[in-house]
A and B are shown apart, each in its own frame.
Chain A
Amino acid sequence: MQPHHEHRLNLPGRLRSLPAAAPRPDGWSDVQRRLALRSEASNRRYHAMRLAAAASVALVAVTAIWRIGDVSSERPGRAAELLQPLTAEQVISADRVAQLQSQSQALDEVLGGLGARPVVERAGTSLPIDTLETQVQWLDHQLSAGVGELEPRSAEQLWRRRVEAMNSLVQLRYVEAQRIDM
């Protein structure tokens, strides 16, 4: 058998003699850049976890306040309260509005802590977030347009809806931040 033909038959030998890839002059700087990015991402994840813990505490507190508000509104004397003159109801309603305003403010702070929305978004969370943001904007417009003119009951309704929307928004934004970090 001719040596060349013998060589052609030896596939592993031929594969091993194939040329190796040439090194890239900028390869190491690319790796360093990726290492820096990964380190940044891991720092972000750490901060996001701390923020998530804070957000959870805040959410628990807001929910607790909310529940207490609900329980107090369902206490046995509620029917009697409802039958009281309008001025008394207004007072109670104003009280609830103040409570809802503080809950809303706490949620605003939590949302602010989550930072700007990521550049890359997930379709699953992006659309509901947009919808909720629009809803909050609309409610803010209604609340600011009707300052001093809103009925206490309408104001309470609007503030309650704002707290609900903000609550959902914070939860979705948190989920989104977690997924992007993964």
Chain B
Amino acid sequence: MSVFLDTAIDPEVIARARAGDDAALAAIYRAFEVPVRTLARRLLASRTAAEDVTQDVFVDVMTRLHQFEGRGSFAGWVRSIAVTRCLMHLRSPWQRGRLWLVQATGVDDAGSASDGWEAMPGHAATSADSADAIDLERALAQLNSTARAVVWLHDVEGCTHAEIGALWGASASFSKSQLARAHARLRTLLHVDGVGTQCNPITSIV
């Protein structure tokens, strides 16, 4: 289930936030900080960029509260702003240039998404679980930005293929083929099918 859609907020708080109540604005921030930050960290290759985009998402949410018409869920509305912000970042010419440079030189001074990941305190995990998670994060980080975003939006956020396709101005087939290719690549990287040599799973050495 999506972390976003699990987050509920009292309509009364939204109404107070619209009126400019600082406490209500802070309550919205606290409620959605983790989902927004998690989404940004998973979708963007750079940790610094993810922090920056997270702040921008909340500035957008706070300044556009009057545009929320209450038709869908508030969480869904915040998620759509967060996804749009992340994709805008990925599509920016500067970011594309930076990614090209990172791929060409192999040096990324902004920190990768899987690097220095501070998990929620209290996230219970056995050593096998955490080794599994590290393997998966490493594999996820090796996908290209579009594939990574499609996988995350579909598998974790529960977006439909049509919704994902629309985000790229494409059809549902685009999302389906991206997802199929990304899953295949992840399985190879994780040696799930017993093939592939590009990534040594940490589980095999612990």
Give residues in A with beta carbon < 8 Å to B.
4, 7-9, 11-12, 14-24, 27-28, 30-31, 34-35, 38
Contact = CB atoms under 8 A, between A and B. Distances in A.
Residue among B26, B33, B187, B190 with the highest chain A CB neighbour number at 10 A: B33
A19 B132 contact: no
Given A12-B155, A24-B33, A19 B123 contact: yes
Contact of B29 (A14, A21, A31): A31
Nearest to A13: B155
16 contacts: A8-B192, A15-B140, A17-B133, A20-B34, A20-B37, A20-B120, A20-B123, A21-B38, A21-B120, A22-B34, A22-B120, A23-B30, A23-B33, A24-B51, A27-B37, A34-B59
A37 to B, nearest CB: 9
Contact of B136 (A14, A22, A34): A14
A123 B134 CA distance: 45
Interface string B40-59: 01100000000100111011
Given A11-B186, A34-B59, A18 B34 contact: no
B77 interface: no
B183 interface: yes
A7 B35 CA distance: 24
A30 to B, nearest CB: 5
Nearest to A18: B133
A68 B132 CA distance: 82
Nearest to A22: B118
A4 B128 contact: yes
Interface residues of B, number: 44
Nearest to A30: B55
Contact of B38 (A4, A14, A20): A20
A38 B63 contact: yes
Which of A9, A12, A20, A35 has the largest count of B CB atoms less than 10 A from its CB? A20
B152 interface: yes
Contact of A23 (B37, B58, B132, B183): B37
Contacts, number: 91
Contacts of B51: 24
B163 interface: no
Contact of B155 (A4, A7, A9, A15): A15
Contacts of B63: 35, 38
Contacts of B8: none
A35 B1 CA distance: 31
Interface string B101-145: 000000000000000011111010100110011001100100000
Residue of A17, A19, A22, A30 with highest tally of chain B CB at under 10 A:
A19
Nearest to B183: A11
A93 B125 CA distance: 90
B167 interface: no
Contacts of A8: 132, 190, 192
Contacts of A30: 55
B92 to A, nearest CB: 15
B19 interface: no
Interface string B140-176: 1000000000011011100000000000000000000
Contact of B133 (A19, A23, A35): A19
B202 interface: no
